[in-house]
Structure 1
Amino acid sequence: MGGADNRRSPAANNGNNTTRNLPLDPVINLDHGDPTMYETFWKKLGDECTVVIKGYESLSYFSNPKNPCWFLEPKLEDSIKCLHDAVGNAVTEGYSIVVGTGSSQLLQAVLYAVTSHDQPSQINVVAAAPYYSSYLEILDLVRSGLYKWAGDAHEFNKNEPYIELVTSPNNPSGVIRGPVVNRDGGVLVHDLAYYWPQYTPITSKLDFDIMLFTASKCTGHAGSRIGWALVKDKEVAKKMTKFMEVSTIGVAKEPQLRIAKILQVVADRCKRFGSPEGDNFFEFSKNMLAKRWEVLRETAKKSEMFILPKYPLQHCNYYGEITHINPGTENYLIMVTAFAWIKCKDEIEDCEKLFRSHNILTRSGRRFGSDPGFVRVSMVGRDEEFNMFIDRLSKIQDL
């Protein structure tokens, strides 16, 4: 079994000098995409993002009764618009913003909002495999009378109404995607959680009918549980709001105000490229991920046990250039996605089982409607976890 001690790999040390007393052979949980990597950046800012809420403030249920999403804090609405405008990844003019407890709640609200109690049967919900594993889990848990999970969009051939969930960049693979079914009678929901410049080139300012984002992937503040939807149809936005009004009576104001402050700080600094203070959050984060991906690719190349994906070369409007070009090719670039979609060599039928035997928890390709020869590995944990992962990966020997 490939063990690991508490040594820190210089190649993967990205500035986080926090040392944690970990056991010599701990289980490394890379199943979840818990974005603790970002602690390094936010610690540098000290109290700059601190929000103080006094005891008499934010007592009311209501934030703006005239807004379709009446519990959306105006400061959060302003900071969301400011950040999207600064990054150039989504249009906000002419859209209603609906805030939710993460994008998971927003997804449920969307599915409710685009269906009808008068429809004769449940609407099929599809996504192209490999699809985000929680889609199936959410729909299976809710078991709504309005909609049902219908699996891989590539295999959907029913002449019936449908909802297609388009995750771009894809979770788990990181590729940019468009709709697959492409026929009348469908509703498209674009999950754009990772469409930020630390994960993927920003190629255009998107203007789809329904677009989902979340602070957990944008800034790493998963614990605040704030997501937002940009919704073109005001009636759909109102129905989404009604869903959350009935289920949770809105979204708490404290995390909204916290995320509003954080997004504004990111927006104010996000055009400072090459700053010696390293205060551009996206640039800082991309550099951290790039170092990790460089180490991972080198380790996988030496082992000859694992295959990592390549991505087509694309121009990023945000950075104004093509970045991280693979020196060995002309048509591909090294992406620095939040997850590594790793394929074990063909003789290994269950890649998750192999990793688990080395005390590395990953998420099997089965969970994404794909081949068990694949696993998804989180790249956004703390340095010591990543370093131990690389150490163990390098010791996995041929069967």
Structure 2
Amino acid sequence: MGGTDQARGTTRSPNETDANDNGGGVTRNLPSDGLINLDHGDPTMYEAFWRKMGDKCTVVIKGYEHLSYFSTNKNPCWFLEPKLEDSIRSLHGAVGNAETDGYTIVVGTGSSQLLQAVLYALAPQDQPDPINVVSAAPFYSSYPETTNIVRSGVYKWAGDAHGFDKDEPYIEFVTSPNNPNGVIRGPVVNRDGGFVVYDLAYYWPQYTPITSSLDFDIMLFTASKCTGHAGSRIGWALVKDKEVAKKMITFVVASSIGVSKESQLRVAKILQVVADGCKRFGSSDGDNLFEYGRNVLAKRWEILRETVKNTQMFTLPKYPLQHCNYNGDLTQAHPAFAWIKCKDGMEECEKVFKGVKILVRSGRRFGSDPGYARVSMMGKDEEFNGLIERLSSVIQICNNDD
């Protein structure tokens, strides 16, 4: 889904040591000629925040605890840990980005599993033809593969929602804010016979203004982009229809017999710590994760825009000022990714970056023009600083060529 990128980063040498922390991550020396992988969405910029938090999120699980498959008999999702459910509802209530009253919470092993579970739950099982799955381009690059990988006979990837003109049933994925371009979105197809699933991985205050508490039928979230804990592989769905929720649970049970309790309990603790600190703006404790994340991303976007503003080599999206209900002021989006467009006439944008040893994801992967590239803004400081340094060199070389 929109919040789950395969982590294909380079491995670090075990003898690398931590140096100065400049806010976005634990800084290490990056070889001047080393490959910088900004293709993936690995949220390592949050490491410095969680280091500063010390043992506040430490969870101790003894050997005899949590042996059973079962967590609760009070919820249709019987493998959902009650502490995780409570912390999810607490966090959404504190942020005000989504309603939880009247919703069933379904936990998954990352949001990728929930994406598959949604397709299983919504696709009719008794139709001769598979239901069409669409999303408006530029769409999250993993949607086509995730939809088609199991070669299901009941659903199939049908491409860009803008071009879907068949009078047939459909499932539309709406990623909002969008991955890759950070734009707030709604459904495109808008006709009878369809289902809409909202992928809200980035609808958190560090990435975008929170303008309303959403109450769509199916809403997907992930700890990966909310708190940076991608390695714990915890995602959750807020599902209004209990029968749809039960079908999603059936899929999770069939594919993995539930979700790791260790991961659930760790994320439950983390989410509650975030919820407890998320209303303390400017606290001397510095324990507001969303304030931290917004400050880091806002600074990075400022630097990136300054780097390219006096050139005609690249362009970046512009985002309007909006009132954020969470922090109570006017702000603009600072997305997790930069959707960069190379000027007309330049070679494929991905190749421009590859020429200076930066891996990015081509616009072609998102059903869009190869003149675009998606660049992660969520890495550690040395990766972002390397991006700026090398981007400046690309601009200088291209300007000299002109």
After TM superposition, the score normalised by the length of structure 1 is: 0.93
1:143 shift after superposition: 1.5
Aligned to 1:108: 116
**SS of residue matched to 2:344:** coil
Aligned to 1:5: none
Aligned to 2:273: 265
Q: 1:339 is matched by which residue type in structure 2? A: F
For the 8 Å contact 1:209–1:231, the answer to whether it is kept is yes
1:274 shift after superposition: 1.5
Q: 1:395 is matched by which residue type in structure 2? A: S
1:137 shift after superposition: 1.3
Farther-moved stretch of structure 1 (314-323 vs 91-100): 314-323
For the 8 Å contact 2:134–2:171, the answer to whether it is kept is yes
1:17 shift after superposition: 7.6
Counterparts of 1:16 and 1:120 in 2: how far apart (Å)? 51
**2:250 is the counterpart of 1:252:** no
Superimposed CA distance per residue, residues 285-323 of structure 1 (whole angstroms, 9 cap, x where no aligned partner) = 100111111100000113431100011221110011102
Aligned to 2:198: 190
Counterparts of 1:195 and 1:294 in 2: how far apart (Å)? 21
Aligned to 1:336: 334
**2:177 is the counterpart of 1:177:** no
For the 8 Å contact 1:14–1:291, the answer to whether it is kept is no
Counterparts of 1:271 and 1:383 in 2: how far apart (Å)? 26
For the 8 Å contact 2:37–2:360, the answer to whether it is kept is yes
**2:393 is the counterpart of 1:395:** yes
Aligned to 1:381: 379
1:32-71 to structure 2, matched below 5 A, reads 32-71=40-79
Q: 1:388 is matched by which residue type in structure 2? A: G
Aligned to 1:129: 137
**SS of residue matched to 1:302:** coil
1:200-215 to structure 2, matched below 5 A, reads 200-215=208-223
Superimposed CA distance per residue, residues 349-390 of structure 1 (whole angstroms, 9 cap, x where no aligned partner) = 400011001101000000000000000000000000110110
**2:305 is the counterpart of 1:297:** yes
Aligned to 2:95: 87
**2:357 is the counterpart of 1:359:** yes
1:14 shift after superposition: 3.4
For the 8 Å contact 2:217–2:239, the answer to whether it is kept is yes
Q: 2:105 is matched with which residue: 76, 79, 97? A: 97
1:141 shift after superposition: 1.3
Distance 1:18 1:317, change over 3 A: closer
Counterparts of 2:255 and 2:92 in 1: how far apart (Å)? 28
For the 8 Å contact 2:308–2:314, the answer to whether it is kept is yes
Aligned to 2:370: 372
1:119 shift after superposition: 1.6
Aligned to 1:165: 173
Identity of aligned residues (%): 75
For the 8 Å contact 1:303–1:394, the answer to whether it is kept is no
1:24 shift after superposition: 2.6
Counterparts of 1:341 and 1:14 in 2: how far apart (Å)? 24
Q: 1:394 is matched by which residue type in structure 2? A: S
Unpaired segments of 5 or more residues in structure 1? 1-11, 324-332
For the 8 Å contact 2:207–2:335, the answer to whether it is kept is yes
Superimposed CA distance per residue, residues 245-288 of structure 1 (whole angstroms, 9 cap, x where no aligned partner) = 11100001000000000000000011101212321110011001
Distance 1:342 1:119, change over 3 A: same
For the 8 Å contact 1:71–1:250, the answer to whether it is kept is yes
Q: 1:224 is matched with which residue: 232, 254, 262? A: 232
Counterparts of 1:298 and 1:30 in 2: how far apart (Å)? 19
Counterparts of 1:262 and 1:288 in 2: how far apart (Å)? 20
After TM superposition, the score normalised by the length of structure 2 is: 0.92
1:21 shift after superposition: 3.9
Counterparts of 2:247 and 2:43 in 1: how far apart (Å)? 31
The size of the alignment, in residue pairs, is 378
Aligned to 1:140: 148
Farther-moved stretch of structure 1 (12-21 vs 65-74): 12-21
Counterparts of 2:189 and 2:352 in 1: how far apart (Å)? 35
Q: 2:196 is matched by which residue type in structure 1? A: L
**SS of residue matched to 1:377:** strand
For the 8 Å contact 2:71–2:78, the answer to whether it is kept is yes
For the 8 Å contact 1:14–1:288, the answer to whether it is kept is no
Aligned to 1:326: none
Aligned to 2:162: 154
Unpaired segments of 5 or more residues in structure 2? 1-19
Farther-moved stretch of structure 1 (105-114 vs 296-305): 296-305
1:16 shift after superposition: 5.7
